[in-house]
Amino acid sequence: MDFELSEEQSLLKSTLAHYLAQQYDFAKRTAASRSEPGCRADIWQGLASDLGLLGVAVPLDAGGLGGGAVEQMIVMEEAGRALLLEPLAETLFQGGWLLQKCGAAGLLPLIMSGSVRLAVAIGEPDMRFDYEDIAAAATRHGDGWRLCGHKAVVMAAPWATHFLIAARTSGARGDAHGISLFLTTPEANGLTLHRYQTLDERRAADMELKDVSVEAGALIGEEGEALALLEEMRDRAIAAQAAEATGLLDRLVRDTVDYARQRKQFGQPIAAFQALQHRIVDMHMHVELARSAAVLASLKLDAPATERALASSAAKVTIAKACRFVGQNSVQLHGGMGMTDDLPIGHYFKRATVIETEFGGEGWHLARHVRLSRQLPV
């Protein structure tokens, strides 16, 4: 199989890398994370107007770039390397993808222009990673719907102009059928956001739905049939996040090597010590394993559901181990400086730590992989 990037893909990668290197200064990024709204509007608009990047996941016939899995991987790897705060994955590869699959493409031009940002509200306080446990309810009310319930840790919600909310229109918690998707805005009556900053310096919110009235057109996709879509979206989100992790882990190793060449003990750089050389080699190996897992998960996105899910869970387990090993060793080799906010490494470590458990932890994905493997024909 040919893993070389095409000329267009190479140009996308180099252009985005150059833009972020020039425009996404780490000091400005840190300042933005510590103030409101927590991201840089100029960068988001620049990605839209200067690069046209926000159309990368939009089909050609809708005016986008028509990018696929490889383009997603390129964008997210560079986003990880720059430690981008802005909600690229949530808007393009999660919410935007769901809109396309549900036949609600009306917002795509606004996404490409940078005026729409999306957040997907799935998780709840009383559930973990099994989406069939969604309990938030949507009941018919006149010509529309009324939403009730709670959503937890909705990533990028404070930045979003629109929400995609998963709610149960029939059945009981644990049923595979009966889950639907609704599109609404933060201004909807009865919708309350409790905003906060996450460990990795991004923004999230818990959401209260108290008799939120939405029109009939807020229901997108087939009523009661959203579970399969949400599970596919999670696999795609994991593939995107695996690519992001590859970029940030690569940066962690690079910074650690540079530091080891400068830091001296007993009159010589610590990079000269054989034990530390072996440690850094192990870190490199974890990054390469993570990169391979990210490539496999991306290439399997259009495979049958079981095959796609197996690759996704395998990638998640591999990425979780790599984030933990590379992150912890990077901090250890930096000593006390590794835990300060003065160096980028501490910020990268925080993001790596969050990636470990987002969209399901290592144990959950191991169990999922075993369960799905048993379904394959012998």
Tally Cβ neighbours within 10 Å of residue 289.
16
What's the rounded mean pLDDT across residues 259-264?
A: 86
Would residue 8 be called left, alpha or beta, if left means φ above 0 and alpha means ψ between -120 and 50 degrees?
A: alpha
The predicted pLDDT at position 260 comes to 87
Residue owning tokens 């999230």: 204
Distance between CA 284 and CA 314 in Å, rounded?
Answer: 19
Per-residue pLDDT tens over the stretch 273-296: 888 899 999 999 999 999 999 999
Helix (H) / strand (E) element for 193: namely strand 191-197
What letter does residue 62 receive in the DSSP assignment?
A: G
For residue 196, the number of C-alpha atoms closer than 13 Å in the C-beta half-sphere is 9
Per-residue pLDDT tens over the stretch 35-63: 999 999 999 999 999 999 999 998 888 88
Name all contacts of 170-177 with Cβ < 8 Å and 24+ positions apart.
170/224, 171/224, 173/132, 173/133, 173/134, 173/135, 174/132, 174/133, 175/132, 176/132, 176/227, 177/224, 177/225, 177/227
Decide if 214 contacts 188 (C-beta within 8 A).
Answer: yes
What's the rounded mean pLDDT across residues 22-40?
A: 92
Distance between CA 323 and CA 356 in Å, rounded?
Answer: 7
Per-residue pLDDT tens over the stretch 232-260: 999 999 999 999 999 999 999 999 999 88
Q: Residue 182's closest CA among 165, 206, 168, 169? A: 165
The predicted pLDDT at position 64 comes to 85
Decide if 122 contacts 179 (C-beta within 8 A).
Answer: no
- DSSP code per residue over 115-136: ---EEEE---TT--S-GGG---
User: Highest mean pLDDT range out of 65-69, 91-95, 372-376?
Assistant: 91-95
Q: What phi and psi, each to the nearest 5 degrees, are found at residue 203?
A: -125, 145
The model's confidence at residue 210, banded by pLDDT at 50, 70 and 90, is very high
The model's confidence at residue 66, banded by pLDDT at 50, 70 and 90, is confident
Per-residue pLDDT tens over the stretch 5-17: 899 999 999 999 9
The model's confidence at residue 378, banded by pLDDT at 50, 70 and 90, is low
Helix (H) / strand (E) element for 319: namely helix 305-334
The predicted pLDDT at position 146 comes to 97
Decide if 156 contacts 101 (C-beta within 8 A).
Answer: no
Per-residue pLDDT tens over the stretch 138-186: 999 999 999 999 999 999 999 999 999 999 999 988 888 999 999 999 9
Average pLDDT, the chain: 93
β-strand partners of 164: 120, 183
One-letter amino acid identity for 77? E
Q: What phi and psi, each to the nearest 5 degrees, are found at residue 366?
A: -60, -45
Decide if 256 contacts 283 (C-beta within 8 A).
Answer: yes
Helix (H) / strand (E) element for 192: namely strand 191-197
